Structure 1
Amino acid sequence: MSAIAFLATDPDGYALIDLRDHGSAQRLRPLVHVSREDFATTVASIEAEFEPRWAMLRTSGWMPPLLSAGVYLAKAHVLSLAQRIMHRSPLAGKQIPDFDLEHSETTTEHFNQDALFDAPTFGDSLEDLIQLYTQQRQALPQDPVARKRLELLIHAESVGALIACEMEHAGLSWDEAGHRALLREQLGERVSEYARPPKLALKAQELALALKTPGLNPDSPQELLKALHKAGFAVRSVRAWELEQIKHPLIEQILEYKKLSRLASAHGDVWLDQWVKNSRFHPHYVLGTVVSGRWAASGGGALQLPHAIRQVVRTGPGRTFVVADGRQLEPRILAAISNDQQLQQAGAQDDLYQWLLDAKLVSTRQEAKLGMLSVIYGGGGGASGAVGAALTKSFPTAMRFVEQAATAGQQGEGVRSFLGRGCPPADEQWMRAQRDTADEASQRAADAAARARGRFTRNFVVQSTAAEWALVWMGHARHLIHQAGWSEVCRQVFFVHDEIVFECPNELADQLQRLIAHAALLAGRTLFGAASPHFPVSVAISSNYADAK
């Protein structure tokens, strides 16, 4: 028996739980009115007996008290995330309205099932949830393959939301004292939030002197660019990646200042006070807002931890990190979604790039990596372009697949991931700019916009499917950890794109490493079936996150 449990707000109390048979929609229990005090124990009891799929509008209202009580939910259907997926997916059987994920926490109006094109807001009463869930089920495609894929995407996204809540609750182990010591060493004594730390202030003065610009504010891109032009540096911007191309002592001074300034603003004392509690970093992860399906973070810079900061990400005594990432994931994903047998053969061994070297398609592993990424992302200049041409000749099916995606983007069409996450077609303003090319300048602009959109859609079909694989990988790892009885001591604590960080007791690290590798195998089979390409993972075990990178 498959059960679904609707978790809704009780207008006369705290929560309503409506437990139903998923197939017949018949209630398995009378409607349960739950007080705040009994909420966690009631949910745990239902989970233990029925293991239902928990249907909720969002995770934010329900997961914190459950996690505080140690309650584990195996499955979920997060209606807000599912609504965004269904709204954008070309696999959906009919059009349904979007959900405002970006501002959803402030919505209070009720769902209006008749206003399909009005971008409505949604409430979380039981009636709202059941109506919304019913609409989503009715919009699933009739084709069984497409239906299975879209359902898998919704379920994976929903479990991902549970994992995000679990990571936020657990936090990432952080050496707070070590971080403070690093700040004192690099920046000097702590000052007020609006003043430069002493060592940074000194470097600002040295820059002003070196550039012969008294009073220079090096944090102002306009002022710094003007000073560089005055000093004879013909740079277009003061972005670090552009300045790094210039080998000059003065430029090195600027880059050093930028590095310290970034440390002070992004991970200084104020950041530490706000985001690290009891030696744990608690970022807030956001799902569903990035079109490709990748995660974002709301505050805290969780997805951008510089190397200087990673050294203070350390576990306590007796515990360690197990850091895993998919090896050469995107080329392997391309091999799977394009069904390119030659590329799948290349990826049959752990090191796909070594296969390219052995086949004499490239001279170095770096050439292999840059060339492969070039053909995926639409680059084509220099040496990587020549390597890309050789790869295109060797893997014509895969290259034709991404070229078709690029052509669709250039024409303003939408594309989709393997499971059905949609990249919407271009809007009317973009299409109008493509049509209204009365002069040479507007034609150049239109052509540049078309090429840029083509690169985006070319990238999207691979990157979004890679994000799906990562979701399923995390879901399998979470399930296997729970099955092993390790949920209380082995926890996922961090995630960036295709890298997962777990924390566990030292004595379980080797077993956890094998479990994670098995979860990657299961993820490939879940998405692509028994003929799935090989998806190896690299795993490092260390009590210091910087050493595992």
Structure 2
Amino acid sequence: MSMLAFIGADPEGYAILELRQAHNGAPVIPARLVSATDFPMAVRTIEDEHSPRWIMLRTTPWMQPLLAHGVFLAKAHILSLAQRILHRSPLSSGALDDFDVDSPNAPILRPNQDALFDSPVTGESLDDLVSMYLAQRQALPTEKSARKRLELLIHAESVGALVACEMEHTGLAWDEKAHRELLREKLGPAVGEGTRPVKLAQLAQSLAHALNSPGLNPDSPQELLRALHRAGFAVQSVRAWELEQLKHPLIEQVLEYKKLSRLASTHGDEWLDQWVTEGRFHPHYILGTVASGRWAASGGGALQLPHSIRQVVRTPVGRTFVIADGRQLEPRILAAISQDRQLQEAGQQDDLYQWLINAKLVSDRNEAKLGMLSVIYGGGGGTSGAVGAALKKNFPQAMAYVDQAAKAGERGQGVQSWLGRGCPPADEAWIQAQRATHDEAGQRAADAAARSRGRFTRNFVVQSTAAEWALVWLGHARHLIRQAGWGDTCQQVFFVHDEAVFECPVELAPQLGELVRHAALLAGRTLFGEHSPNFPVSVGISQNYAEGK
């Protein structure tokens, strides 16, 4: 019998727990108050005896004490994340208020409350949670297939939130000593806050001299751009990707400064003191704030670890990383959602790009990658545009799918992911641009805004579904690890987009790698059925993160 376990806040104590039957909501265990001391054991007992789906508004503050006491929750329904999904999804059968997932203390709005006369409920009482859950169930679509998809998305997002809490609690193994040595080698002795490190200061002075700009502050984009213009470099910006196109010793010096400046500002001594504790990096992951469903991180730059820093991400002796990376994920996702048979055939291969080469649609792997990206992201210039045209000819159904998504965006309409995540509506700036077309300049601005939104919706249908595949992948891997009896020794410790990093005993690494590959296979079948494209995963095993890819 399926069970639901609610965790509410006790205004005079700590928590309220209640167990109900999932199919009719009948209480199985009456609501009971538990103290902070008794909370972990009470939850563990319910989990072990009933394996319910845990209903809570947010993972905070409940998951932190549970993880500290080694309590594992298999399933969850995080109301705040579900509310955001149902509010935006075109599949929802009823209108629900949005939930401010950006705010850690956003209030609950009772269904049908009169906003003119009643102030929002700010607590997390059991009655509030039950009402919110029932309203969400009511908003699910009645059509069976749509309901199944949206339920899967909510459950996957909720388990993803549990995974995020577990990763934050465990932390990513970090060699503090090696990190300090790297900083001393690259930047010189440690300095106080607001002071430029010695080697960086010397490089800044050298740049100022080379560019004939005394007092130049290379950290100011405006100053650096003006100095480069005076030196004869006709660049539009000082972004690294643009400067890298210029092969010149002075530009190389600028790029070196930018790289070291970023190291000092984002992963310097102050960062290390703040974010790494007892040899582990503990970032805070955030779900629900990125439109496509991808994760974000609050502080610490968790999702943007440069290669120079990855070399200090090292496991303790006797343990190793298993680094799994979804291969050519987005073209495979496009094959699945568009149901283009030719692209699905290519997607059955372990190397989709090699299939394109063998079929003589492209001449090399770089063309294959750029061509597929131009199709998905809406590019069209240069070689990638020519290759994109060839792909469009050979995969008409797939190309029509993203073209239709782009046209919907250009018209200000919404699109959705495979499971039903809806993209945000056109913003006020877009609406105003479409209205202000009384002259040629206004029309150009409106057309540019329309094309920009079209590129967003074109990408959204693929990227958001790829994010769903990744969520389901993580959920399957988590379940399989637990099923294998490795829950205490193998942990997921890092995740970014389509790459998951696990830490385990050295002797278990090959088996864990196979388990993670199998989880990827299950994720494809869970989303797309038995005719799902192949979703191969590259697996690297290394005690050093930088060497595992």
Same fold (TM > 0.5): yes
Change in Cα spacing, 1:117 to 1:524, as seen in structure 2 (3 Å) is farther
How far residue 210 of structure 1 moved from its aligned partner, in angstroms, is: 0.7
- Secondary structure of residue in 2 paired with 1:482: helix
Distance in 1 (alpha carbons) for counterparts of 2:347 and 2:158: 30
3-state SS of 1:422 partner:
coil
Structure 2 residue matching 1:102: 3-state secondary structure: coil
Tell me if the contact between 2:430 and 2:450 (Cα under 8 Å) persists in the aligned partners: no
Give the Å deviation of 1:116.
8.1
* Cα deviation digits, residues 106-165 of structure 1 (max 9, x gap): 33x553322488996753111110111011000000101100000000000000000000
- Matched with 2:216 is 216
Q: What residue is the counterpart of 2:459 in the other structure?
A: 459
Counterparts in 2 of 1:518 and 1:116: CA distance versus 1, 3 Å: farther
- Residues 1:528 and 2:525 aligned together: no
Residue 249 of structure 1 corresponds to which residue in structure 2? 249
Q: Decide which moves more: 530-539 or 260-269.
A: 530-539
Look up the equivalent residue of 2:370 and give its one-letter code: L
- Is the Cα contact below 8 Å between 1:99 and 1:120 reproduced in 2? no
Q: Distance in 2 between matches of 1:255 and 1:535?
A: 37
Q: Is 1:113 the counterpart of 2:111 in the alignment?
A: yes
Matches within 5 A, 1:149-548: 149-548=149-548
Amino acid at match of 1:111: L
Tell me, in whole angstroms, the C-alpha distance in 2 between the residues paired with 1:101 and 1:123: 15
Contact 1:415/1:422 (CA < 8 Å) preserved in 2?
Answer: yes
- Alpha-carbon offset, residue 424 of structure 1: 2.6
Alignment partner of 1:100: what SS? coil
The alpha carbon displacement at 1:501 in A equals 0.2
| Residue pair 1:294, 1:497 contacting (<8 A) in 2 also | yes
Q: Give the AA of the match of 1:166.
A: E
Helix, strand or coil: the match of 1:510? helix
Which sections of structure 2, spanning at least 5 residues, go unmatched?
none
> Is the Cα–Cα contact under 8 Å of residues 437 and 446 in structure 2 kept in the other structure?
yes
1:428 Cα offset (Å): 4.6
Q: Distance in 2 between matches of 1:50 and 1:9?
A: 21
What is the alpha-carbon distance in structure 2 between the residues aligned to residue 57 and residue 122 of structure 1? 12
Give the letter aligned to residue 449 of structure 1: A
SS at match of 2:30: coil
SS of 1:7 mapped into structure 2: strand
Letter of the aligned partner of 1:106 in structure 2? N
The whole-number CA distance in structure 2 between the counterparts of 1:124 and 1:527 is 33
CA–CA distance in structure 1, aligned partners of residues 187 and 254 of structure 2: 15
Task: For 2:228 and 2:240, locate their aligned partners in 1 and report how far apart those are by CA, in whole Å.
Answer: 14
For residues 219-266 of structure 1, what are the alpha-carbon distances to aligned partners after superposition, in whole Å with 9 as ceiling and x for unaligned?
111111111111111211111111111111111111100000000000
For the residue of structure 1 that corresponds to 2:538, the secondary structure is strand
The letter for the 1-side match of 2:261 is S
Which SS does the other structure have where 1:4 is aligned? strand
Are the equivalent residues in 2 in contact too, given 1:122–1:128 (CA < 8 A)?
no
Q: Distance in 1 between matches of 2:454 and 2:120?
A: 31
Worse overlay, 418-427 or 264-273: 418-427
Q: Is the 8 A contact 1:174 1:281 kept in 2?
A: yes
Cα pair distance change 1:349/1:117, threshold 3 Å = farther
- Alpha-carbon deviation of 1:12? 2.5
| Secondary structure of the structure 2 residue equivalent to 1:131 | helix
**How far did 1:429 drift?**
4.2
Q: Secondary structure at the match of 2:96?
A: coil
Measure, in 1, the Cα distance between the counterparts of 2:108 and 2:85: 20
1:96-135 residue pairs with structure 2 within 5 A? 96-103=96-103, 105-107=104-106, 109-115=107-113, 123-135=123-135
**Residues 97 and 120, structure 1, Cα contact 8 Å, conserved in 2:** no
**Residues 491-523 of structure 1: CA deviation (Å, up to 9, x unaligned):** 000000000000000010011011001101110
Paired residue secondary structure (1:541): strand
Do the aligned partners of residues 116 and 292 (structure 1) sit closer, same or farther apart at CA in structure 2, a change above 3 Å counting? farther
**Letter of the structure 1 residue corresponding to residue 532 of structure 2:** S
Q: Which residue of the partner structure matches residue 59 of structure 1? A: 59
SS in 1 for 2:495: strand
- Cα distance per residue 1:161-199 (max 9 Å; x no partner): 000000000000000000000000000000001101100
The CA deviation at 1:204 is 0.6
Task: Give the direction of change, closer, same or farther, for the CA distance of 1:468–1:382 in structure 2 (3 Å limit).
Answer: same
Q: Provide the C-alpha distance between the structure 1 equivalents of 2:273 and 2:373, rounded to a whole number of angstroms.
A: 39
Q: In structure 2, give the amino acid aligned to 1:66.
A: L
Equivalent position SS for 1:31: strand
Query: Could you list the per-position Cα deviations for residues 320-349 of structure 1 after superposition, in whole angstroms to 9, with x for gaps in the alignment?
Result: 000001111000000000011110101111
- What is the alpha-carbon distance in structure 2 between the residues aligned to residue 134 and residue 436 of structure 1? 43
Structure 1: which 5+ residue stretches go unaligned?
Answer: none
Corresponding residue SS for 1:297: strand
C-alpha distance in 2 between matches for 1:464 and 1:68:
33
The answer to whether the 8 A contact 1:217-1:223 is kept is yes
Which string of whole-angstrom CA distances, capped at 9 and with x for unpartnered residues, describes residues 305-330 of structure 1? 00000000000111100000111100
C-alpha separation in 2, matches of 1:121 and 1:215: 56
Query: Counterparts in 2 of 1:83-102, with a 5 A limit?
Result: 83-102=83-102
Count, aligned residues:
547
How many angstroms does 1:433 deviate by? Answer: 1.6
Counterpart residue identity of residue 229, structure 1: H
2:105 is aligned with what amino acid?
T
- Partners of 1:535 and 1:238 lie apart in 2 by 38
Instruction: Measure the CA separation in 1 of the matches of 2:115 and 2:226.
Output: 49
Greater mean deviation of Cα atoms: 457-466 or 205-214: 205-214
Deviations 1:347-403 (A, max 9, x none): 111000111111111100111111011111111111111111111111100000000
- Give the counterpart letter for 1:154 in structure 2: I
State the one-letter code of the partner of 2:82: A
Whether the 8 Å CA contact 2:9–2:123 is kept in 1: the answer is: no
Q: Percent identity?
A: 71
Do the aligned residues in 1 keep the contact of 2:357 with 2:365 (CA within 8 Å)? Answer: yes
CA–CA distance in structure 1, aligned partners of residues 445 and 194 of structure 2: 41
| Residue identity opposite 1:112 in structure 2 | R
- The answer to whether 1:28 aligns with 2:28 is yes
2:142 alignment counterpart: 142
TM-score w.r.t. structure 2 length?
Answer: 0.98
- Partner letter of residue 282 of structure 2? H
SS at match of 2:27: coil
CA–CA distance in structure 2, aligned partners of residues 502 and 248 of structure 1: 41
Task: Give me the whole-angstrom Cα distance separating, in 2, the residues matched to 1:417 and 1:19.
Answer: 33
CA distance in 1, matches of 2:421, 2:204: 47
TM-score (normalised: structure 1): 0.98
